[in-house]
Every structure is written in structure tokens, then in C-alpha cells.
A and B are shown apart, each in its own frame.
Chain A
Amino acid sequence: MRDNGDETTTIRTFHPESVDHLAPFDRLCLRLGSEEIQARSIKPSSLPPARLIEIEAADWGKAASIAQAEGWRWAGVFAEDRGADLTVNACLERQGVYLMFRAYLAPEKANLPSQAPYYWAADRSERHIQDLFGIRFEDHPDPRRWIRHQAWGEHSHPLRKDFRADGQAIEETPPDHDYPFLKAHGASVYEIPVGPVHAGIIEPGHFRFQAVGETVLHLEERLGYVHKGIEKIAEGRDPLGLARLAGRVSGDTTVGHAWAACMAMERAGGIEIPLRTAYLRGLLAERERVINHLWDLGSLCNDVGFAFGYYQFGRLREQWLRENQAEFGHRLLMDRIVPGGVTIDVPPEAAERMRHSVAILRRELDELLTILDANSSLEDRFLGAGCLSPELASALGALGFVGRASGQSFDARRDAPYSPYDRLQVRVPVESQGDVASRFWTRYKELRISLRLIREMLDGMPEGELSVPWYTPAEGAEGLAAVEGWRGEILCFVRFRADNKICRYWPRDPSVINWPALEKLMIGNIVPDFPVCNKSVNGSYSGHDL
């Protein structure tokens, strides 16, 4: 196999009875070996703390089936064009340990078995790679195009290095009217196409409902409308430029994505950030969570016609946005996290002001809680709507509040902690009902926990620098980061070229994983409940489409 200069271990035999005590990663390695999968664990990993296993392309699907049987959660896949070869990288997680499977492909024979038969989450992500790299996933259960509409042809592949970022000048991009949607047949079955331009101030996407009467038989999402070529235009940027772009992958998660990108770049360069910086990043991230949860709680009320909740939560949110402007200079906190540090600080007086607003918000939430709790119409609309069973959520690998409302407790802050969360106690609320009510109350609880974390971070903020000098990472240096954004786990991979420029950037917003959950939880609900169900998941279109 390829020689990348690392010491490597070849994976050997597996004796089921003798491996129970082993860590999940060692168990997996043994199992891969015993099933005669051509795999090598690279030591030391070039992506610490994540582990790296190189797999023969032909065994790509089989490796996934074993990982699935061993209880690993599938978290994302991306490809890289390295000139001489292409790589495909799948990221998995179990008990807070991240693992990367990597396979090498010859550019002229770019196909390998799909992992989608074992992991639902792999379905669309593999189609994304198929459209952008021209890599074919054999036995893929649904090989229709996904991210590609009509902006480029079937035989051009924008993320190959020989494809120019500005593409070929097209006069006018035609509409995408021949996407082969699933069809339903039968008496009284009818279709409702919705979007891409929706009736409201929302992002564009298309939904195709098949319904009988008001009951939804099937929902199919068609996304990709806001594909802006983020992965392509990231290439060749300097670290600061990448942080800016990352902050615009999904505007509502600007802190989360900027942090993930900076962490990945810092890991690639072996750069340690000061503890104070980590606390400040944590503070920004929790403020982002508070603001977005307030917005969602209000919007969920609005979607069932409860204007009181909409205005009250909106009022609280606006107060925090203004505090952001006053203390940090930007309402949504864009561009406050930079490679190697942050551009903001919290002097003691500001900390005092923020403690005060935390106390006020807590009181307000207490008061609103009793009002909401006593409102039977709200309860009537939320309870039992849009159920996602824990089994389904686990099979989809659902993240964040969508996962947690359906029994999936993973939270990177607690389970794969990074600074400053390794010093804080992060509680994670979990419910098992999986309906809109669960997702509403999970957000509410997360919001309370964030307020506590903000308090703790303000109280325990150590002295120190706000940034460290940046050193040019080695050519080919790579880094992988996982950050818990307000929607859930954000993944980010970065590879550097020789000149401190980005060679590859791959952000994975939690929406990529959670969007399919909406299709599933709509089944059997009535069409008019779609807005509230959709909002209860609240996927980012921009974060998904890239």
C-alpha cells in the first residue's frame, strides 16, 4: 500500500470471546482483520485525536458493515483530489472516539462500494461526492444526482483540481425541471410541490408531498438550490480567509463553523490556543446557542398560531443580539473567531453586565415556562406531532436537539470534549418521545444549560493571551475538528498546501445528517402541520448545500 512515511500496523486476527474488554477502536481493528479486510491503522495518526485506518477501496462497503455492527455512528464522508489519486474519507464516531476510514482511488477508475446500504446517513453525502468528483458508489440504493441541478454537466466535476472555479461561462442557468421525483400512484393520491421559493422569509428548497386527503403518505426533499461552491472557492485561501468563509457556511451558525474551521487549521499546524481564548470561544458559542434557541422557541409558537410566544421569545432574542453588538461589535458574532485566537475580549465590567443579563433571562424564562405549560392549545399542537422514534433517530445518526429529543444523547462538548468544555460539566438533556413537543422542550432545557455554562465561563475565565502567532503548517498537513454547534455536531476537515494556503476544506453541518429525519417524521402527519414539523428540525439549507 501507499507509503506516507508513517509507521503502520497491519490489522490481524479477531477472537470474539477475548475482545470484550477492548476499547471500541481496538475491537474494530481486530474485527476488520479477522474478516480479511485489507486495512491498516496508521500510527501515529496524521489527524489526531482522530484515528486513521486505510482501507482497500474494494472493501469500503464491507468495512462500513462491520463498523455498523460494532456500533459506530456514521458522521460524514468527503473526497479529495490529490492529483495522482483520489481519496475518499468516511468519518465515524463511537464513545467520543473519532475514526477516519480512507481509501485511495485511481482517477481513471473512480469507483468503490457504497456505505449507504449500511448507513442511511451516507446516502446523500455519497451522491454529493458523485456529483462533484465523478466518483461512482457501486450498489448505491439511490444513485440519482443530488447537489447537481443544471449549473454544470453530468461529465464535469467541479471539485476535481482540473475544473476551474469560475467554471464555463453559462449565459443563463436553466431551471431543474426533470429531476426524477418518486411518484405515487393510486386513487385519491395527489402531489403537492412546494418551493424553491417559499411563502415566507425562509431559505429555498423544494418539498414534494404525496398525500391522501390531508395525510402525508410521503415527503421528498430536493435541496441544493443554494449551492454556492463553498468547498471549491475555499481552495487557495489563507487561514484568515477560510475562517471568514467558514463563518458564512450557515449564517446562523457562524461561531460554530468558524470555530470548527479554526480548530481544524490549528490542529493541522500543531498550534495550541491559550486557555483564555478557548473560554472566549466557548462563550461566543453558548451565546449563539441561546440566541438561536430563543428564535426557534418563538418560531415554533408562531407556526401553531401562538403569537404571544413568538413576540416574547423574539423580544428576548433581540436583547441578546443587541448585547452582542455592544460587547462584541457584531449582532451575530461573525468574524470574532480567527485562526490562533479571537478578536474580542471580556473585561470584568462586561462580564458583570453579561452575568446580569443571564440572571434576567433566567427569570424571564421561568415566567414564560409557567405560561406555556398552562397553555392547552400549544400542548395540543405540539404533543404527538412529527414523531421520530429513537430507533429511527439512531439509524439516521440524528444530531443535536433532533437526536436528543429521540434518545440520542451524543454531545461533542461532553463526549469528545475540547477546550474549554473539558473543564466544565456539560449536562445533556435527553427525551425519548421524539415529537415536536420533545424538540421544543429539549431546546428549552439546552438553553437553560447554556446559561449556566455562560455563567461558569464568565466566573472561571483565566487570564491570558487572546491569540498566538500563526506558523505556516507543513505542506499536506491535515486537521479534523468536531465542535458542538447549536444544531449539533459540526465536523470540519482542512488540508494545507505548501504556501499556508488551503488545499481542501470540508465542513459538515449537522443539517446534512438531520434533513432526512424530516422526511421520515412527516409520514402520517397532516399537511398543515408541515411548517411546525419543519421548524422543529430546522435544518440549514445553506449549511447543507454548501
Chain B
Amino acid sequence: MLRLYGKIFKTGSLTERVSPLPKTISDTVMKDEAVKQAGHRLKTIVDKRFRGSLAIREVDAGSCNACELEIHALNNVYYNIERFGVHFVASPRHADILMVTGPVSRHMEAALRRTYDATPAPKWVIAVGDCGACGGEFGVSYASCGAVANVIPVDLAIPGCPPAPLALIQGLLSLCGRL
């Protein structure tokens, strides 16, 4: 146990600051000093508009799973998105925002519509990744509906294949900034 506490102590806090205004949304290389302001602007908006807690339900509607990996990374110690009041929740009924990845496979179409319907208004939808934004590598086919916007209304698309965690934070900020 002592070793465990020792390790925690030695590791310290690695959580990073978020950059003010990026030039491009996708694949921006993380600059340490950077991210803080964007993060804090996000937190200010979340505090004001969402009473300090913004709930996101993630829906994989047909992704190759790499977009999920980067969304997951938002919770690692470097990005630690919870500190801005942003939580990933288990039920769409608790969500303010749906974050949808992938081209929408036809087999997920009904499930995505139902998830959307189950989310209480006001609600917003973010399409994540090139696939979610425009169909990406998969496009429209007998098995795929393509972009998320072909199935449910989308408020913001974050391109990238997959978009890096920083791009996701910046996307979230730009959506919340508009609200």
C-alpha cells in the first residue's frame, strides 16, 4: 500500500492546460501552456449555462472504434475533462449532448434514432470524426447511411480521423460558446 501511495505522490498531477484559440481544429499538437484558457472558457460556460455540469452520452453508430479511443482519452490524467464539469453519462436520459461517431450503419440507425428521442430537450448533437461529419472512408452504401446528419439533426461536426482529444475539447468549446 505504501508503494501505491508513493507512486501516486511521485506521479503528481499531470493534468494539462487547454490552448486559447487553435488555428485548426483537427490534430493540433498539444502545447502544454495552451489548453488552459479554452478549458476554462468551457468551464465558465458550463458553470453558467449548465449549472456546472454538462452531461454527454457517447454513441458509436458504426465507427471503426478509433474515434472511441480518442474520446476515451479525454478522461485520462492529461486531459481530465471532468475538471471542466463535463461528464460522460450512461443514459441518454441524463444527457445534454450526444456525441455520435462513425458513419451511421443501417443496423444502428434505429438505435441511434431511439437514443436521440430518449434524450430530453434541450439537446445538442456533435458528430465526431470524418465519418460522422461526412461519411468518411465508408460513405453511403447498402450498409451505411453515411454522415450522422443523414439520420438525426447535428449541431456541430468535429472532423479528423480520428480527431485528437484536444480537437474534441475545442469542438465542445465552440459548440457551447454558441449556445
- A residues neighboring B (CB under 8 Å): 149-152, 158, 163-168, 170, 172-176, 196-197, 199-204, 224-230, 232-233, 244-245, 248-252, 254, 295, 308, 311-312, 314-315, 317-318, 321-322, 325-326, 331-332, 334, 367-368, 370-371, 374-375, 540-542, 545
Q: Roughly how many angstroms separate A465 CA and B10 CA in the complex, as a whole number?
A: 44
B107 on the A face (CB < 8 A): yes
Complexed CA–CA distance, A317 and B92 (Å): 29
Nearest first, the 5 A-B pairs at minimum CB distance are A251-B66, A167-B142, A229-B143, A199-B90, A151-B106
Q: Give me 10 A-to-B residue pairs in the complex whose CB atoms sit less than 8 angstroms apart, sorted by A's number.
A: A163-B142, A203-B63, A225-B111, A227-B105, A228-B141, A229-B141, A251-B68, A318-B78, A322-B30, A542-B65
Tell whether A229 pairs with B144 under 8 Å between CB atoms, given A201-B71, A368-B7: yes
Given A228-B144, A248-B138; 11 other pairs, CB 8 A cutoff: A150-B106, A199-B90, A201-B58, A228-B62, A249-B64, A251-B162, A252-B66, A318-B73, A322-B30, A325-B29, A334-B161
With the chains together, A317 CA to B14 CA distance in Å? 13
A537 to chain B, nearest CB (A): 15
- Find chain B residues with CB under 8 A from A149 CB: 106-107
Q: Is the beta-carbon distance between B137 and A245 smaller than 8 angstroms?
A: yes
Q: Once the chains are docked, how many angstroms separate the CA of A52 from the CA of B38? A: 59
Q: In whole angstroms, what is the CA distance A229 to B139 when docked?
A: 10
- Hey, which chain A residues are within 8 Å of B59, CB to CB? 197
Pick the most buried of A199, A232, A233, A375: most chain B CB atoms within 10 A of its CB.
Answer: A233
B interface residues (Cβ-Cβ under 8 A, vs A): 1, 3-4, 7-8, 11, 14, 27, 29-30, 58-73, 75-78, 88, 90-92, 102-103, 105-111, 113-115, 136-145, 161-162, 164
Q: How far is the CB of A329 from chain B (nearest CB, A)?
A: 9
- Chain A CB within 10 A, most for which of B60, B66, B72, B142: B142
Chain A hits for B8, CB < 8 A: 308
User: For B59, B145, B161, which residue has the most chain A Cβ atoms within 10 angstroms?
Assistant: B161
CB distance B142 to A151 under 8 Å? Answer: yes
Is the CB–CB distance between B162 and A332 below 8 Å?
Answer: yes
Question: CB distance A332 to B3 under 8 Å?
Answer: no
Q: Which of A165, A197, A311, A326 contacts B142 (CB 8 A)?
A: A165
> Given that A201-B71, A308-B4, A371-B7 are contacting pairs, would A233 and B88 also be in contact in the complex, using a CB cutoff of 8 Å?
no
Q: Which of A152, A167, A202, A251 contacts B64 (CB 8 A)?
A: A251
Q: Which residues of B contact A311 (CB under 8 A)?
A: 76-77
A228 cross-chain contacts in B, Cβ below 8 A: 62, 102-103, 105, 138, 141, 143-144
CB neighbours of A321 from chain B (8 A): 73
Chain B residues with Cβ below 8 Å from A173 are 106-107, 109-110, 145
With A173-B110, A202-B60, A203-B68 as given contacts, are A225 and B30 in contact (CB-CB < 8 Å)?
Answer: no
Residues in A neighbouring B14, C-beta threshold 8 A = 315
With A176-B107, A311-B77, A315-B76: A375-B4 Cβ-Cβ less than 8 Å:
yes
A167 to B144, CA, bound (A): 10
Residue ID in chain B nearest A315 by CB atoms = B77
